[in-house]
Amino acid sequence: MADVARLAGVSTSTVSRALRQPDIVSPELRTRIDEAIERLAYVPNLMAGGLASARSRTVGIIVPSIMNSFFSETVEALGERLADRGYQLMLGHSGYSTEREEALVASYLAWSPAAIVLTGRHHSKLTLRRLLEAEIPVVEMWELGERPIDMLVGFSHREVGRAVARHFRSRGATRLAFVGAALDRDLRALERGAGFLAEASAGGTDAVTVSLAERPQVATGAQGLARLLDEQPGVDAAFFSNDVMALGALFECRRRGIAVPERLRLCGFGDLDFAAESVPLLTTVRPPRREIGRRIADALLARFEGDASGPAVLDLGFELIERESG
């Protein structure tokens, strides 16, 4: 750091501020410091920098899958916001396994993170105990509920299901279905299905569930729709646990000559990029993917600065996107 300071013509404290809180250093000084760092090939040691406080400037985050773009957008938004203040992310994926999440949390805590972000609210007892004993900020995301570990940022998946069922009923559908995959692991999708079935029942509408053990992907969606139509040929509206599966269902409808939405209405979840380009355009639910990341970052940065006045639970809601398929 002293070498960087000499080359940039600034004090070591200015270099330290530029690395830890770049937004409080002028653009001109940051440019000089960045150029000096590049010339010297200097890599800041975040662990050494955190020895005095016994906390590093890293935030551990665990998502169920790194292939799921829902979570990747949240991670990206969170990382961008934190990087502006000199914090970096450690990313791990649990594969929807509480045991793997438990191992990742233990590994993160060994590095004295500034905070930990988890997906969902279902954790092992050992994970909960370790996090409570660590006395660091903890954020659970992508769900809602009472009594979070510390902070909770997300939306209600049960309400998502209810909203889709109400939408189908408003379009005249009378026999509904929920099609999901890996519901023993993807508890958020399970919640969406539960809300969908509860709302259908409350409205006096018939509803069934098709559950597949495979991963939720395009082929699984096609298989799910084929099974649904074989078992329940009278179904006139189907809610799929995500857009990828709904896309598979659209392909299967095309192969079978089933008119969408005239004969069968379809809805997905996620509002992925292809949803607005599919034929027909896919009706879906848009979760606040990037906003979740930004709001988590804001909450953590406030906590790092000693401000704990923010809400413990933050409901960001969701949006039903009505397009041609539904």
Does 234 share its domain with 312?
no
Tell me if 298 is assigned to some domain.
Answer: yes
Nearest Cα to Cα of residue 321 among 276, 262, 264: 276
pLDDT digit string (tens) for 292-308?
999 999 999 999 999 99
Q: How confident is the model at residue 37 (pLDDT cuts 50, 70, 90)?
A: confident
Residue 48's pLDDT is: 57
Q: Is the pLDDT of residue 264 over 60?
A: yes
Does 117 share its domain with 236?
no
Tell me if 326 is assigned to some domain.
Answer: no
pLDDT digit string (tens) for 171-196?
999 999 999 999 999 999 999 999 99
- For residue 156, the number of C-alpha atoms closer than 13 Å in the C-beta half-sphere is 13
Residue 196's pLDDT is: 98
Q: How confident is the model at residue 54 (pLDDT cuts 50, 70, 90)?
A: low
Tell me if 138 is assigned to some domain.
Answer: yes
Does 149 share its domain with 175?
no
pTM beyond 0.85: the answer is no
Does 39 share its domain with 136?
no
Does 161 share its domain with 273?
yes
Tell me if 50 is assigned to some domain.
Answer: no
Q: How confident is the model at residue 96 (pLDDT cuts 50, 70, 90)?
A: very high
Number of domains the chain contains: 3
Q: How many CB atoms lie within 10 A of CB 13?
A: 10
Q: In which domain, by residue range, is 31 found?
A: 2-44
Tell me if 267 is assigned to some domain.
Answer: yes
Residue 278's pLDDT is: 96
Angle subtended by helix axes 69-83 and 289-304, to nearest 10 = 30
Mean pLDDT of 227-232: 94
SS3 content of the chain, % helix, strand, coil (to 5): 45, 15, 35
Tell me if 207 is assigned to some domain.
Answer: yes
Does 63 share its domain with 110?
yes
The CATH number assigned to the domain holding 148 equals 3.40.50.2300
The CATH number assigned to the domain holding 19 equals 1.10.260.40
Does 195 share its domain with 275?
yes
Does 13 share its domain with 85?
no
Tell me if 323 is assigned to some domain.
Answer: no
Does 186 share its domain with 240?
yes
Tell me if 325 is assigned to some domain.
Answer: no
Does 167 share its domain with 278?
yes
Q: How far apart are CA 92 and CA 89, in angstroms?
A: 10
Q: How confident is the model at residue 14 (pLDDT cuts 50, 70, 90)?
A: confident
Residue 33's pLDDT is: 84
Does 269 share its domain with 188?
yes
Does 163 share its domain with 252?
yes
